[in-house]
């Protein structure tokens, strides 16, 4: 059996954090947490249910007048202290994240830095953010008052969990909301650091609460609770559809960042070396477990054979290994259930395309959820591996002849999260960027994101946008106040003539 590197300070139990205290589930239930290298339990986590969610909502409601009453700059100071506390735990956070999710340690370190930056960014946003006023001549002025929605429900995924939690925690707190975070059950370890981070930063007790558990239980209870008017969810499209249906009963405000099957379009005039670097990194980094992965590579036929051969050669050389090894480029997939799902798609792909790289467990890794990065060529547009999100280190490659065909193939999927375009003709790049059905497009770029920009997709990839001021809008209600400045001249219905 593989023996994973165990980071120092690893807990054996992970409890809820409600009202500023670490507590077990009301009914005492727990679930095992596995590491993806040995697939053996290393800890137990509290298994939350409706009663635990109700306790967390009560704590969040009690804290709401306190936290929402902070001036924007006061909240910004707390957010900056949270960022300081994250940075002070940089090494342990990266080690926890890598151990729990199978993410290579070199990439986990980047996630820790990004999480701290999210809090600093929203601290700046909330201080600088103004409110609007409108003047109607000399007769009236109208102004907008922005107020926090209330208790926010945050449901986060298992890939890069700590960083993606920070994407929601930072703007929710910046806006003055209190919240309940429900982390993914497969990767709860790094979330166990939030309580000490929040306490050290001086966040009022109950402003942020954490309920662990299974999605169908704890997550469902959070979605169903009438005291939670807002749900922010990142995860699968099927789960997003279910949450939308459940949220309709209480007319909740929802934001959904869902699945993706993003195209990377490579034209013959592109810088092929740069495009190759981007394609390899974009689909195989983070173990391929990323929503914005360019998992469909569309290549102009003039360079199709060359580019596909080079992609396959690079995939075979990607270093797969122990997530704790700094040299590792692809680690272990997160959980045995997900590993089996990805392997099933590999078998489907053998029937639907031409396997030109990977497709098997690396020979030096007898156990653990490991897969050599896998490339299928000559994949038809109706193939399952072309249409369905695999969420692993697997890519489908197909040729195109004309620009219109490239756009048609790019849009020939239910998803629309991201797209990547590689060409030296920037006019064409802009044309395709506007024609591709996706929420985000990168031209000659590899998923470098400015935190000020909106993040989200179209079609089956999501509902709404978060990021920058869009996040503050989501976690806030806007009220318009109209004030007369002069004499009021209202038609006098019913008055004596």
Task: Give the residue numbers marked as catalytic.
Answer: 257, 291
d(CA 256, CA 464): 6
* Residues 204 and 123 sit within 8 Å (Cβ to Cβ): no
Q: Residue with structure tokens 């990439």?
A: 107
36, 334 contact by CB (below 8 A): yes
Token pair recorded at residue 38: 């040995």
- The answer to whether 212 and 16 have CB atoms below 8 angstroms apart is yes
Q: Which of 219, 215, 204, 213 is nearest to 14 (CA)?
A: 213
- Scanning the structure block, which residue is given the tokens 């490579």? 266
Neighbours of 71 (CB within 10 A): 11
Which residue shows structure tokens 């590579």? 297
Cβ neighbours of residue 357 under 8 Å, at least 6 residues apart? Answer: 311, 312, 313, 315, 316, 372, 373, 374, 375
Cβ neighbors of 411 (< 8 A, separation 6 or more) are: 435, 436, 437
Cβ contact 212:14 at 8 Å: yes
Which token pair is 71?
């001036």
The dihedral formed by the CA atoms of 63, 68, 74 and 76, expressed in degrees to the nearest 10: 100
The Cα-based distances of 76 to 81, 117, 474 in angstroms read 9, 13, 18
């Amino acid at each position: 059996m593989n023996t994973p590197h165990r980071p120092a300070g690893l807990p054996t139990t992970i409890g809820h954090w409600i009202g500023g205290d670490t507590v077990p589930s009301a009914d005492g239930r727990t679930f095992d947490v596995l590491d993806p290298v040995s697939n053996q339990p290393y800890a137990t986590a509290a298994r939350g249910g409706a009663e635990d969610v109700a306790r967390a909502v009560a704590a969040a409601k009690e804290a709401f007048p306190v936290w929402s009453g902070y001036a924007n700059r006061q909240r910004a100071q707390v957010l900056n202290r949270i960022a300081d506390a994250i940075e002070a735990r940089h090494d342990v956070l990266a080690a926890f994240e890598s151990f729990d999710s199978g993410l290579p340690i070199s990439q986990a370190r980047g996630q820790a830095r990004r999480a701290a930056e999210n809090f600093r960014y929203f601290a700046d946003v909330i201080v600088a953010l103004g409110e609007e006023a409108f003047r109607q001549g000399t007769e009236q002025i109208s102004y907008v008052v922005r107020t926090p929605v209330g208790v926010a429900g945050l449901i986060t995924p298992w890939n890069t969990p700590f960083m993606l939690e920070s994407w929601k925690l930072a703007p929710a707190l910046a806006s003055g909301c209190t919240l309940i975070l429900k982390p993914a059950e497969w990767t709860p370890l790094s979330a166990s650091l939030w309580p000490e981070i929040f306490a050290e930063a001086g966040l009022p007790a109950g402003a942020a609460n954490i309920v662990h558990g299974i999605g169908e239980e704890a997550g469902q209870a959070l979605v169903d609770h009438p005291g939670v008017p807002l749900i922010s969810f990142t995860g699968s499209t099927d789960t997003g559809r279910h949450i939308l249906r459940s949220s309709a009963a209480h007319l909740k405000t929802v934001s959904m960042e869902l699945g993706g099957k993003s195209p990377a379009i490579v034209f013959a005039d592109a810088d092929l070396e740069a495009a190759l670097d981007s394609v390899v990194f974009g689909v195989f980094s983070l173990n391929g477990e990323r929503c914005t992965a360019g998992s469909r590579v569309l290549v102009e036929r003039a360079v199709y054979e060359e580019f596909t051969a080079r992609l396959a050669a690079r995939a075979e050389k990607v270093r797969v290994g122990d997530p704790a090894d700094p040299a590792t480029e692809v680690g272990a997939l997160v959980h045995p259930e997900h590993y089996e799902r990805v392997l099933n798609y590999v078998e489907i792909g053998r029937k639907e395309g031409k396997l030109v790289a990977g497709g098997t467990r690396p020979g030096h890794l007898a156990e653990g959820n490991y897969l050599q990065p896998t490339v299928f060529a000559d994949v038809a547009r109706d193939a399952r591996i072309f249409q369905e999100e695999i969420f692993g280190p697997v890519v489908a490659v197909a040729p195109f002849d004309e620009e219109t065909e490239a756009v048609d193939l790019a849009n020939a999927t239910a998803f629309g999260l991201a797209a990547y375009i590689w060409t030296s003709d920037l006019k064409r790049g802009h044309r395709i960027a506007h024609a591709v059905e996706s929420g985000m497009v990168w031209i000659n770029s590899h998923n470098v994101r400015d935190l000020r920009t909106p993040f989200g997709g179209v079609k089956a990839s999501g509902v709404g946008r978060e990021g920058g001021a869009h996040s503050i809008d989501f976690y806030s209600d806007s009220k318009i106040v109209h004030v007369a400045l002069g004499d009021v001249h209202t038609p006098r219905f019913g008055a004596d003539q």
